[in-house]
Amino acid sequence: MATPVNSAEAYANLGRLQSQQEQWQAAIANYRHAIEFNPNCSWYYHHLADIFLKQEQWQEAMINYRQAIELNPNFSWSYHNLGNALLKLKSWEEAIQVYRQAIQLNPEFYWSYCNLGDGLVQQKKWELAIIEYWKSLVILHQTTQAQDFVIIATKLGETLDSYLPETIDQAIAYYQQVTQNHQQYPEYKIIINFIRNYQDKWVKIADFFLYKHWIKAALILYSMVVKVNPDDQEIIKKFKSVYQKKADLEKMINLQHQQIQQNSEKWSKYDDAIAAEQTVNHYDYPVAVNQKNRQYLFSTDINFDLDQLDQLFEAVGWMTRSHEQMKIALEHSFLVVTLWFIKDTNKQLIGFTRAVSDQVYNATLWDVVIHPDFQSQGLGKALIQYTLEKLRQQNIENITLFAGSKAVNFYHHLGFITDPNGIKGMFWVSPCI
């Protein structure tokens, strides 16, 4: 450095260089020295807070962002990043207020809308969260950030599909009313204008929901396009087709859903094996598999050590099964997915499920299990998502499973429907089992 380290600017420059080299503690020390020389520069507090944010020291980040805002109340990034720290500290109400201030200063940054939606979700203000997620996608369409689209669209789709209290018909009617009479709903103005001007991009979002099997969310978006453009026969046809698939799915559940209450003792062990996963943040994306260190590996190979499957079943309290019979079951399953933990040269089976199918329309998942030592890490979610993706690659669209009360929320977050429209399914269980 040309400048001697005896001024605020010199310390700040040194701190910036050390931060770029991830020398965090040294950078923190030099930014503090810069603040000692010049305690009235908002940039020093902001950059120091950024380091604390990267180090997940949320409290220190919050303190320094607040100081930066006090010195410069017109810098949107200090508000946005403060909101991020507040979300981590679970200060939902203050985070919401701070994100709104960030948006006022910079209304073109889509992540402020998205993170505002996250705060509203935590307060169970579902409709307000949905509006903010929509706004985020409206702004995002001007960019080429495909990965960001997946993240934000996932949040919107899950919220639309899982948390609106209305039935699907009520939700469709409400959003069609909003679309038709948007003057009465000024908070939707930017969204309705987007549908009118960029219908193809709106349909892309709906198609993404359909691909992820969020039927309710897809139907809502298709219905809004129909209301804006009632002469678009292609969209009308797609809307009717998806609605019919939803009805077919409900009929299938009616035929296949297990009467768990009549077999509660037998099936409670299956609930316990997956229920711990429901505490995982369902907004995590991508799935919680450590790709960088390659610690976890999915496989669809049915030729694996069945002794390891016995150990996995025993770990969750399930009964082991005859290897001869299990081999037949695996050979006749449409899809078998195993999840392995790799450490050095050791390979441990920690997750398992399989699907039976007519190979055209329907598939049902069985034996979903994650080893207790690996639960509450998002691996159950990863296992199901990987399995659903494999089934959809085979054009299987109607996918069912049987879950008890402890696991219902976990499967809801993955797009499954519980007893839609009050339908109850039944199947006969042999009393000899």
Active site residues: 411
- Report the DSSP beta bridge partners of residue 370: 351
Helix residue ranges, H only, 212-322: 215-228, 233-256, 264-275, 306-315
Gap between the Cα atoms of 70 and 76, Å rounded:
12
- Which residues lie closer than 8 Å to 269 by C-beta, 6 or more apart? 316, 317, 318
- Residues 277-290 as b or e (16 or more Cβ within 10 Å = b): bbebebeeeebbbe
Amino acid code (one letter) for 300: T
Phi, psi of 190, rounded to the nearest 5 degrees: -65, -30
Gap between the Cα atoms of 228 and 13, Å rounded:
54
Gap between the Cα atoms of 402 and 418, Å rounded:
10
Q: Which two tokens stand for residue 83?
A: 């909101």
Gap between the Cα atoms of 74 and 62, Å rounded:
17
- Residues 219-233 as b or e (16 or more Cβ within 10 Å = b): bbbbbbbbbbeeeee
